[in-house]
Amino acid sequence: MQVEDKVIVVTGAAHGIGRALCERFQKQGARCVVVADIDEEAAREVAAAIDGHSIRCDVSSERDIFHLVEQTEAIAGGIDLFCSNAGVFYPDAISGRASSTPDHLWQRAWQINVMAHVYAARACVPGMLARGGGHFLNTISAAGLLTQVDAAVYATTKHAAVGFAESLAITHRDQGIGVSMLCPQGVDTEMLRHTGERGHPILAREGILTPEQVAEIALDGLMKDAFLILTHPRVATYMQNKAADYDRWIVQLAKLRRSA
């Protein structure tokens, strides 16, 4: 996937990884970058800085995502790359109780962390098929491959997002539609700062990247047509350890939780 002269949409684009992706795509020579975010004012600021276009979008709404796609096509033509980047994080409402988070937060996280990817595919796939191809970059998380201690909502929805990305990639691979999933670990964003996870032992050991570093890694992965894009290579080792001995992995995570 080459981004030069391409029409690109990024959701959750006003801050953090989304903003860094927009800036990096613009530097790489994208023809049009659409900055989509529920924070309309911040989205306008990012768009102005990169000579792009901003569109307000609440990704939990299928109507908003379809509107985003329609508006982009009216402005710049068919979408070559749709970056479904928006996400939310909710810790367990009561520490030590994985089922404690209220239903409305489960539903909110499900809509944003999972269904937003589904809505993007529904809105974009028909046009991509008609044009002979396209690409999705779904920002998920290393938590979707491993887990997130004391955040059952986040871990569960991110696992589901991985499942959908796999299905999307398998189903449409022979139709010219590529899929990449970006699975960062520690990234210095507002989300990480608000969770209080910066001092977590794993993040302290693995290191926290800037959004700009993540955007550079994402671009490199896209150019290689990689399905799995990892910002922290050791996540692959953790995945192998999990698959090799699931019971031991659960024991180790429980031990890590106690120590943290």
In tens, the pLDDT along 63-116 reads 999 999 999 999 999 999 999 999 999 999 999 999 999 999 999 999 999 999
Q: Which pLDDT score is estimated for 193?
A: 57
In percent, the amount of the chain with pLDDT more than 90 equals 91
What is the pLDDT averaged over residues 174-196? 85
207 pLDDT exceeds 90?
no
What confidence category does residue 260 fall into, taking pLDDT thresholds of 50, 70 and 90?
confident
Half-sphere exposure of 59 (CA within 13 A, CB side): 29
Crossing angle (nearest 10°) for helices 16-27 and 211-223: 50
SS3 56: strand
Give the domains, in start order, of the chain with CATH numbers: 7-235 (3.40.50.720)
- Calculate the alpha carbon distances from 254 to 108, 138, 146, 147, 257 in Å: 27, 29, 13, 12, 5
pLDDT tens readout for residues 10-69: 999 999 999 999 999 999 999 999 999 999 999 999 999 999 999 999 999 999 999 999
* CA-based nearest residue to 21, from 166, 178, 168, 231: 231
Report d(CA 227, CA 192) in Å as an integer: 24
